[in-house]
Amino acid sequence: MLNKGTEETNKQITQWVNEFSDELFAFAYSRVSDRDLAKDLVQDTFFSALKAIDSFQRKSTPKTWLYKILKNKIIDYYRSSFYKKTIKAKSIQPPEDNRIQTPLLSKWNNVEDSLQSQEFFTQFNSCIEKLNEKQRTVFTMKYLDDLESEEICKKLQITTSNYWVIVHRAKLKLKECLDKHWFTDNQKWLKKTKK
């Protein structure tokens, strides 16, 4: 067993930082999309690890243990940012009647080519960046962590009806963003090249 504040523990932490900070950082960054915040979370993780090093019984590997601490830090962060703003389940927006401005579905039907193209995902990612933090958090947990919707609600301490409202609004925003920046511009671009 290791003891706090000794030469030995400092050496141990140093080794862990060198060995695991990259992947812990990548894990955190992909979830919070903010370099400084991700660095803080990793730093906090090692700090908590150092504080609790007495209780680390080596039942799990150090890597698993560190990931567990980091995951809890990320969830704490998600929760705190969720609590800043309360979500009103009632204010859901139905699809707008914008038949004239938005491209016809037929353009969306030819989406297979888009889904194969890198440019599409560059645009798509910038649309995701425009979502608010709540919406991005939900998508990260769903599509990066592969969590079920019930688990996400539990982790974020939100009701299921709130959850569906967040998902729906986020998708509506993505749809509008793609309508505006991909499906229209892309078509214009196609016309230009045909001339």
- Residues of this chain that interact with other proteins (CB under 8 A) are 4-5, 10, 13-14, 17-18, 21-22, 25-26, 29-30, 35, 38-39, 42-43, 46-47, 50, 92, 94-95, 97, 99, 105, 108-109, 111, 115, 120-121, 124-125, 128, 139-140, 142-144, 149, 161, 164-165, 167-168, 171-172, 174-175, 178
Maximum CA pair distance of the chain?
A: 75
Q: CB of 156: closest distance to other proteins in angstroms?
A: 16
Q: CB of 56: closest distance to other proteins in angstroms?
A: 15
Q: Which is nearer to other proteins, 60 or 93 (by Cβ)?
A: 93
Q: Which is nearer to other proteins, 47 or 83 (by Cβ)?
A: 47
Give the pair of three-digit tokens for residue 156. Answer: 């974020």
Q: Which is nearer to other proteins, 22 or 83 (by Cβ)?
A: 22
Q: CB of 195: closest distance to other proteins in angstroms?
A: 29
Q: Which is nearer to other proteins, 72 or 161 (by Cβ)?
A: 161
* Residue 158: closest CA among 70, 75, 73, 83: 83
Q: CB of 141: closest distance to other proteins in angstroms?
A: 10
Q: What is the SS3 string spanning the chain? A: CCCCCCHHHHHHHHHHHHHHHHHHHHHHHHHHCCHHHHHHHHHHHHHHHHHCHHHCCCCCCHHHHHHHHHHHHHHHHHHHHHHHCCCCCCCCCCCCCCCCCCCCHHHHHCHHHHHHCHHHHHHHHHHHHCCCHHHHHHHHHHHHCCCCHHHHHHHHCCCHHHHHHHHHHHHHHHHHHHHHHHHHHHHHHHHHHHC
Q: CB of 184: closest distance to other proteins in angstroms?
A: 14
Q: Which is nearer to other proteins, 22 or 76 (by Cβ)?
A: 22
Q: Which is nearer to other proteins, 83 or 92 (by Cβ)?
A: 92
